[in-house]
Amino acid sequence: MAPMTDLPLGPEVDLTPRPLPARIPHHGAAVTLEPLAVRHAEDLWAAAQSDPEGRSWTYLGYGPFPDAAAMRRHVAAFAAQHDPMAWAVRPHRSGRVEGWLTLMEIHPAHAAIEIGHIWFSPRLQRSRAATEAMFLLMRHAMDDLGYRRLVWKCNALNAPSVAAAHRLGFVAEGVHRAVQVTKGRRRDTAWFSILEDEWPARRDAIAAWLQDANWDHQGAPRTSLTAAIAALDRDA
C-alpha cells in the first residue's frame, strides 16, 4: 500500500511481471524471424560480404569480422544468450538470412523491454522486409507479452538509426552524454520509447503500411510511413 502523502505520485499500474520472450519463430508477409543459431552463420557471412567497407558495423560494439570463422564464433556466442535474445532475419524474396535483431534489457517486473542489436546487411536495409522484421518483434513485445514500455537506443551520431526510431513511432526522450565507450570512442546514446497507450495507433499505422495493397508492382510503397506516424502525433 502506498504511504499517505500529498506529494505527487505516478499513476498506479498493473504489477504483474511480464513473460520473458521465448525462442520461437515469427512469420510475416515478407520475412521470417528465426531464433538465431550457429546454422545461420554461413548465410550471415555471405550477407556481410555485400558491405566490403564495413559501414553497417560502424555503431555496433562488434564487427566487421575478419573471416567466416570469426563470424561463426560470434553467432555461436550471441545465440546462447538470453538477454539479448537474438533472431535471424530471413527475407522471403531471397530465402537467405541477411541480418539479426534482438529483444534486450528485459525487465519483466517493470514491463520494460528494448529492441536493439540490429544488424541488417545492405541488401536488407531500407526494405519492406527490414521494417516488418522490426515490427514483428515490437508487436510480440507489446501485444503478445504485454510490456508497457518499448525502448530504442542508439549512438546519437547514428543518423539512420535515429531516423528509423522516428519512422517507427518512437518518441525521443533525450541523450545520455558520454554514457559508454564503443570501439575506443566516446558514445552519446539517444533514447526513444513507445508506451502502451501510444502503441495501438502506431501498430495499426505500421501494419497498414506493410499491407500488400500499399506496394506497387515494382516493390515500392505507395504511401509514406514517416508521414503516417507524423499525422498521429499531430492529431494527438
Q: Which domains does the chain have, with CATH numbers?
A: 26-235 (3.40.630.30)
Distance CA 71, CA 74 (A): 5
Average pLDDT over residues 173-192: 98
What's the CA gap between 62 and 180, in Å, rounded? 14
Separation between Cα atoms, residue 124 and residue 197, nearest integer Å? 31
Query: What number is the average pLDDT over the span 146-169?
Result: 98
- Reply yes or no on whether the pLDDT at 93 is more than 80: yes
| Residue 234: per-residue pLDDT | 81
* pLDDT > 90? residue 233: no
pLDDT-derived band at 5, boundaries 50, 70, 90: confident
Whether the predicted pLDDT of 228 surpasses 90 = yes
Q: Looking at residue 124, what is its pLDDT?
A: 97
Answer whether residue 4 shows pLDDT above 80: no
pTM for the model stands at 0.95
Q: What is the arithmetic mean of pLDDT over 99-118? A: 98
The predicted model gives 34-60 an average pLDDT of: 98
What are the DSSP E strand ranges found in the chain? Answer: 26-27, 31-35, 85-91, 99-107, 112-120, 149-155, 171-182, 185-195
* Confidence band of 1 (pLDDT split at 50, 70, 90): low
